[in-house]
Structure 1
Amino acid sequence: MLAIRLKRMGSKHRPYYRIVVSENDKTPTSSCVEELGFYHPIATDKDTKINKERAAYWLEKGARPSKTVLGLFKKHDIKA
């Protein structure tokens, strides 16, 4: 089963995340099927970019978003 989740990047105490589609049973840092965008929680404006078309495509295919990604989708008006 596919999952849409966050992949941690960055350095110690300065994380940023990539929003990725990957297999549910693999670790988040392993290879992913596709990258959908990014999320910078440390930035003052909490910079986020999500490819809405591709996110909708993967949701139609049955990918399940994590709780955090689901919250990001709601902020960007992506129906999950």
Structure 2
Amino acid sequence: MLGQASATALRKQMDKLTIPKPAAKMTGRRKTARWIRPELLAEIAYRAWTDDGKLRHASFKGLREDADEASIFALG
């Protein structure tokens, strides 16, 4: 679970990366979305992938600073 201090620090990082439109083609709800440059690498735990390519029961575990972008990929 993300604590208050961690959430505040993450929000400050994300606020610096704000952009006016999505960095990739996007479908779905956009009315309340805020877009950021895709520069942060996160570790996400999840139960499964849905048939339409979404994560089921996803939870944020933290940012990864030690990961090489080439080693980041989706399983499934």
Provide the TM-score with structure 2 as the length reference. 0.24
Q: Hey, which of these two has a bigger chunk of strand by percent?
A: 1
- In terms of Rg, which structure is larger? 2
Provide the TM-score with structure 1 as the length reference. 0.24
